[in-house]
Structure 1
Amino acid sequence: MNSGRASRPRSGRHRSRVITPIAIAVAALTLSACGSGGKSGGGGDTNFVTNSGGITTVARTERTSVNEIAGETLEGKTLDVADLKGKVVVLNVWGSWCPPCRAEAPHFAKVAKDTEAQGVSFVGINTRDPNKGPALAFEKDYGVEYPSLYDPTGKLILSGFPKGTLNPQAIPSTIVLDRDGKIAARSLMALNEDKLRKMIAPLIAEK
């Protein structure tokens, strides 16, 4: 009996040693993913030209189309970005757990409303939220009225963008498509209202 009681504390200590590294690893992944930049995934010449504000652009003659970006939104509706061809499309990758995402959300909500009449559509890609609850609360808290595709495992991020155009570890990220559905601008950092407007304006002006 004494030996049985003595073995239980050792078992508890063992569980503690196993859980702690896992918790640390998960926390480290979250911190590294949120707001990290660096080179985009994949290889090849993406034709991006770096500007001073952390935003890169692509000349109109050298732009490439995105792959299929379609699925279910947080509200349970079906959305296909290809259906938005003819509009300037702002794709924003975000997570409710990400502090920079919370910082930029009010700016995106405001600019989305202000530019809708100019033929601009905003689409979010919500990622790494294991369930929709926190993401839906995020949208409500920050007045985000445009739809977000639900991509908890990052599948859309990895398959929807050509190699070299988006770093899947950079959250938040924003990619803007021209009216032909081609990638025209990119930011791998949080944006304020001024930078977001400067990113979109040249594409609104394109004929």
Structure 2
Amino acid sequence: MHRRTAALACAALIAAPLAGSLAACGGGGDDAGTFAFHSPGGQVEIFYEEADRLPLADFGGESLTEPGEEIQLSDFAGQVVVLNAWGQWCAPCRAEVDDLQEVHEALQADGTGTVLGINVRDYNPEISRDFVTDSGVTYPSLYDPPFKTAAYLGGVPSSVIPTTVVLDNQHRPAAVFLREITADDILEVVSRLREEGNA
């Protein structure tokens, strides 16, 4: 409980200065039918009803653990994808990695999806690879130190790490967490997606 409270406080402090600009980034006519993130009142948990969801544009990049290999979001067509922006330098990211691995194993067990990490602000990939290995992580991660991927996430703030975005099987954001997550947080969203037929 202490871990979650501290993470929420940290995320809230980070998100608070962003609240005004985030609220201004709502989905207007310029979005051409793709997802645009906004956080009313600087919320750190945002959920999207099925009728309000819009897809992400496809994106990709170099694999962290398989240098020279490319990973694309479209590699996971028809699957739930849990995007998680993380860095090994980030204490909440380190704390939530076991929960993300648990989610990944659950999604893999029933064939419905994957966790896809986005490794940011780690300019020495070997340190990140060592962290992945030492933590027993089996889900893939893009290696994206400048977090260019944020541009494809509808304006999700690149300054808030960790950030987790749960995509339904049409790759439309169903939930955004601007804080450390637990496995239960994500599996609850996945359960709702199953009920909708979007998992």
TM bracket (short chain): 0.7 to 0.9
Residue 103 (structure 1) aligned to one of 95, 98, 123: 95
Greater Cα offset, 57-66 or 90-99: 57-66
Report the counterpart of residue 46 of structure 2 in structure 1. 56
Kindly report the root-mean-square deviation, in angstroms, between the aligned alpha carbons of the 2 structures. 2.3
User: Normalized against structure 1, the TM-score is what?
Assistant: 0.74
Answer whether contact 1:94 1:172 (CA < 8 A) is retained. yes
Report the counterpart of residue 130 of structure 2 in structure 1. 137
Shift of residue 54 of structure 1?
A: 4.9
Report the counterpart of residue 154 of structure 1 in structure 2. 147
Report the counterpart of residue 5 of structure 2 in structure 1. none
Q: Aligned ranges for residues 3-14 of structure 1 at < 5 Å?
A: none
Report the counterpart of residue 73 of structure 2 in structure 1. 81
Report the counterpart of residue 184 of structure 2 in structure 1. 194
User: Normalized against structure 2, the TM-score is what?
Assistant: 0.77
Deviations 1:28-65 (A, max 9, x none): xxxxxx84334348611458798xx9532111111111
Identity of aligned residues (%): 33
Segments of 5+ residues of structure 2 without an aligned counterpart are 1-9, 28-35
Partners of 1:156 and 1:49 in 2: CA distance: 19
Report the counterpart of residue 15 of structure 2 in structure 1. 37
How many residues align? The count is 169
Residue identity matched to 1:94 = W
Bigger radius of gyration, 1 or 2? 1
Q: Aligned ranges for residues 163-178 of structure 1 at < 5 Å?
A: 163=155, 166-178=156-168
- Structure 1 SS opposite 2:15: coil
Partners of 2:25 and 2:39 in 1: CA distance: 16
Segments of 5+ residues of structure 1 without an aligned counterpart are 1-33
Partners of 1:111 and 1:92 in 2: CA distance: 12
Shift of residue 204 of structure 1?
A: 3.0
Report the counterpart of residue 68 of structure 1 in structure 2. 58
